[in-house]
Amino acid sequence: MDAAPLPPIPFLDLKAQQARLGPGLRARLDAVLAHGQYILGPEVAELEAKLATFCGAKHCVSVSSGTDALQIALMAEGVGRGDAVFLPAFTYTATAEVPLLLGATPVFVDVDPGSFQIDLVSLRARIAQVKQAGKLTPRAVIGVDLFGQPADWAGLRAIAAEHGLFTLDDCAQSFGAAQDGERLGKAADATATSFFPSKPLGAYGDGGALFTQSDERAALYRSLRTHGEGAQRYEVLRIGMNGRLDTMQAAVLLAKLDVFEGEIARREAIARIYDAELAGVVETPARVPGAQSAWAVYSVLLPSAARRDAARAALQAANIGNAVYYPRALHQQPAYAACHDGTALPVAESLGARILALPIHPDLSDEQALRVAATLRVAVTG
């Protein structure tokens, strides 16, 4: 008689989180239904204040998505045609599509093979290439805090200062992470984050936020997110967009923010289980020195594409969720072929064939994490 299949381990379990939050979540949503202020209701201002306090930033401006946060930040700086925006080649498409939407050119930079963060040596080389070519004006660098860990912001700020570049922290996957005891949110001139449901602090729909220490930038962000309005409802000072966070999503995020620090700690505990159980079996993520990760994603590296695909098949056969972030570097994607200068970025080009993401969320038990690791270990070592 065949053994009963093991219960599934989902890659992400929002249902379990919702059940755990229970009455607090429903009370927040019911309050919005009661007052009926669905656009820029009181929960939006409350959320912005609490998010700013959480990460120590002076200003938080909530917006409709992480992508819109990136776009508003670059719009406020006047980034556009003829400008070069430097960013890592191994990340989600939103980071690169926003400069293109504004008429600027994304310049792809290689990444570190262990932490997957933007490589400073490659960044310096790419800036030099652009300056030597003389066709684009270097304007900005977007550092992506990939998978939950911070980029090297001390290094990025130093390079940006040398070349007069605006620094934008794409913290979409890493809100809640810290470097040397300081939460991300003020490491760059502006910080953009996402509240997509799969993020460590996720809404039940799209959402995002911008953080800055600058009064002027914060005022611009608020104007740009609301069609470029001034102090009056129908005073249009500039071309903006419809980029507001709706009140229902703010209510969800307020309920989740109450338990967020505990969830970050739980993600760290799961990461430590994987670190211990998979050491010497696969390449586990290299920890950024002095950093606390938000562990949006825990990705390991296999020796080859064939070994990775075999490991994925074994996990799927055992009812264990998994994913690949990202199967192809951005400069290898058809949408960006025309704007890439042909420079080889070997690390970014190699990662997609070997990378594999394992379940890591606050409702994953120790027993489930051990089962994930054991299944992967058997698949790799036999």
**CATH fold label, 259-381:** Aspartate Aminotransferase, domain 1 (3.90.1150)
Does the pLDDT value for residue 1 go beyond 60?
no
Q: Do 259-381 and 17-257 fall under one CATH topology? A: no
Report helix, strand or coil for 62. strand
Domain 17-257 classification at class level: alpha beta
> How is residue 208 written in tokens?
């995002």
271 and 295 Cβ atoms separated by less than 8 Å: yes
Q: What is the pTM of this model?
A: 0.97
Q: Quick one: what percent of the chain has pLDDT higher than 70? A: 99
pLDDT digit string (tens) for 60-76?
999 999 999 999 999 99
CA dist 66 and 29 (Å) reads: 22
- Give exposure, 275-306, as e/b (b: 16+ Cβ within 10 Å): eebbeebbbbbeebeebbbbbbbbbbbbeeee
Q: For the chain, what are the domain ranges?
A: 17-257, 259-381
Number of Cβ within a 10 Å radius of residue 313: 12
Write the pLDDT tens digit of every residue in 80-135: 999 999 999 999 999 999 999 999 999 999 999 999 999 999 999 999 999 999 99
Beta strand 182-183 with 178-179 is antiparallel
Residue 97, amino acid: E
